[in-house]
Structure 1
Amino acid sequence: MSLAENSKNWRSGLSLAECNRYMLTHQIHCDVTFRVGKEGKLVRAHKYVLSCRSPVFDAMLYGDLAESDDIIVPDIEPSSFDVLLRFLYCGEVNFSLDTVTSVLYAADKYGVDDLVTTIKSYLDQNITNETVLIILESAKLFNLEDLLKKCKNFIESDPFPVFQSSSALEVTKETLTYIISLDSLVMDELEIYQFLIKWSENQCDRVGMEKTDQNIRAVMGDLIYSIRFHTMNLDTFVKDVCNREILDAQEKLSLQQVIVGSVDKEKTKFKFEERTCETFCVLRGERKDTERFWAYSRSLPDCIEFTVNKTVRIHGFVMWGGRSIPYTYTIQGKLFANSKEVSTVPVQTIEKRESSDIKFTIPLPEPVRLVPGVRYRTWVRLEGPESWRGQNYRSSVTEHGVEFVFYAHSGKTNGTSHTRGQFPGFVCSL
């Protein structure tokens, strides 16, 4: 007795999707055979179901050039082909980030637009620091422009945790080239370079290659030319780049000359376009106290402490200027992270002559990345005339999705606190 006869009541009370699932699972009346994957796993199915759901299968099974023998499918793994079939038969969706690319390939190959749309929606809703690179690779591979743009914007908004993710070292060279070449990737070039070394070492491990500087450079190939070495200061370049043989002697010499401004950039293969970033001001308050002033006769520093809830880069401190024009200040600045000095503005003189200069900015030598979980302290010592001062500052400010929470410094200072005094704002970028 056949399986169909033995189960003559199986159709009773079942939906069409349930019937299709039953027929596929129990291989009832199958009339087409596939050999799937590199090992050619035998998979049986039904022409009518496939042709109804896929124009590619319809042409393949009922068109003028319809195939009569087993259909060979070497480029799709059996597990992904099974996901495709179960979607066609009963609308089941069963994939994960580990399998989504291969399932998307199968759906795209056979023109199953509903499944492609479902996968795009899934990817769009699951972009995180851990997944964005995997999703970006799928977006590039299948020309999903909207998804690619969303991944790009996500990386640009906060690249450091993306590069720190466990998936970053597994990204393909093509995808890494795309990311590192972005002029809008605002990240410390030394950090990008150090990540590139780790990625190359991981590639060496995967093929059993010794992790010498020469092999690391061979793995990097032209990727190395996307690092904007010219933006590093000379001390950093000599200490952290020239200490290894990843760049050759001529490249090191040429880049050192570019850094100090004494060579034609066209003579090297490296990129010299500046990475672009949108800076913005984080203002504690713009209201100046017109009745009282801020004096600096005691030579004490003004300080304020703060935390952030999201990674952001700080470029400088906004300060109140002199009450009378013109004015001149001798300034010195510092930035501390958990009481450790991380940036120093050397002693220098600033002079302002315009009536609009009620504020001025003290730029840091290089932007500093601020991260959650760290308590930061700005420190500025001014010598000069009385300045304006702020009042009724807000204790927390949110700009561009980053929350800054301010605290008074407990040490001996010139009097600035979370409610009054200096530091009306900071210049930052994402």
Structure 2
Amino acid sequence: MVSPTAWQMERSFEQTNWHMLQDGRLCDVTFLVGNDIKEEVKAHKFILASRSPVFYAMFCGSLAESSNTIQVPDIEPEIFRALLRFIYTEDCTINEDNVMPLLYSAKKYENSRLTEKCKDYLNTQLSIDNVCVILQHVHKFDETELGQKCLEFIFEDGENVLKSDGFASLPKEVLQKIIESDNLNADELSIYDACKRWAVEQQKQKCKKQKYPGTELRQELGEIVYII
């Protein structure tokens, strides 16, 4: 006879699911997570397939995985575990250190609820120091609404944002969109200095030199020079 104090009877559906995962009970799939050092993370196909169309296709689709061991080299173990925690319980602690990789994971596995939680967090955290970094990532993720909010923030406080470290790492197409906007609140000299710093950073990534001739920087900027 099962004890009336068994954990199955005292907890919610989400809690019992999480308990089964933490104890490794009846897990039927193993993920090898991480790039340099791979860690084993076990889970339940039924739960994953019920919460993610990507996992459903992985386990139940016409091209379903034949192996019960799956490589996940593009997500770090702690992030993958946070993803699983949300899938199992709808609970997840989002902070400035994990929000971007969590957003990537949510997009990869098409978990729209976690995607929205990450976007809601980012919407409340925009600052001069991080807005360009956030814009760079949401551009890759094709998150138009959040990207537009980042642009509006940049336009309004252009003089300060142009001096931020993140500005020099923006993709060229995003940089051009900012520079050519009539809404950018910054003078021409500030825009020129920021674009020059951006070009230097691009050259550093390519050539690893200490000095860069003006011709190389103009070539890096291309048509942006005329927009300035």
Give TM-score scaled by structure 2 length. Answer: 0.82
Q: Which residue of 1 aligns with 2:161?
A: 162
Report how far residue 159 of structure 1 moved: 0.4
What corresponds to 2:188 in structure 1? Answer: 189
Shift in alpha-carbon separation, 1:222–1:205, aligned structure 2, 3 A: closer
Any idea what SS the aligned residue of 1:44 has?
strand
**Contact 2:162–2:190 (CA under 8 A) maintained in structure 1:** no
Question: Structure 1 pair 130/271, CA: closer, same or farther in 2 (3 Å)?
Answer: closer
SS at match of 1:57: helix
Name 1:153's counterpart in structure 2.
Answer: 152
Alignment of 1:247-396 (within 5 A): 270-271=226-227
- RMSD in angstroms over aligned alpha carbons? 2.8
Q: Secondary structure at the match of 2:18?
A: helix
Determine the structure 1 residue equivalent to 2:103. Answer: 104
Q: Which amino acid aligns with 1:157?
A: E
Aligned match of 1:19: 16
Find the structure with the greater CA-based Rg: 1
Letter in structure 2 aligned against 1:43: V
C-alpha deviation, 1:185, in angstroms = 2.3
State whether residues 159 and 187 of structure 2, in contact with CA within 8 Å, keep that contact through their aligned partners in structure 1: no
1:32 to 5, 29, 32: 29
> SS at 2:104's partner residue?
helix
Q: What are the superposed Cα offsets for residues 344-379 of structure 1, whole Å, 9 maximum, x if unpaired?
A: xxxxxxxxxxxxxxxxxxxxxxxxxxxxxxxxxxxx
Helix, strand or coil: the match of 1:213?
coil
Residue 41 (1) aligns with residue 30 (2): no
Task: Output the amino acid matched with 2:60.
Answer: Y
Task: Label 1:54 to 1:172 Cα distance change in 2 as closer, same or farther (>3 A).
Answer: same
Maintained 8 Å contact 1:196/1:220:
no
Output the CA distance in 2 between the equivalents of 1:185 and 1:178: 10
Asked whether the equivalents of residues 49 and 89 of structure 1 are also in contact (C-alpha less than 8 Å), the reply is yes
In structure 2, the partner of 1:334 is none
Residue type at the aligned position of 2:82: V
User: What's the CA shift for 1:173?
Assistant: 4.3
Aligned residue pairs total: 223
1-side partners of 2:183 and 2:50: how far apart? 46
Q: Report the secondary structure of 2:71's partner residue.
A: strand
In structure 2, what is the equivalent of residue 351 of structure 1? Answer: none
Q: Give the superposition deviation at 1:50.
A: 0.5
Unaligned runs of 5+ in 2: none
Corresponding residue for residue 133 of structure 1: 132
Partner of 2:121: 122
Identical-residue share of aligned pairs (%)? 36
Q: Mark the runs of 5 or more structure 1 residues left unpaired by the alignment.
A: 1-7, 228-269, 273-430
Residues in 2 aligned to 1:96 and 1:195: alpha-carbon distance in whole angstroms = 29
* 1:109, distance to aligned residue in structure 2 (A): 1.7
Paired residues for 1:193-208 under 5 Å: 193-202=192-201
Q: CA deviation at 1:217?
A: 5.5
- Distance in 2 separating the partners of 1:95 and 1:170: 24
> Are the counterparts in 1 of residues 179 and 227 from structure 2 also a CA contact under 8 Å?
no
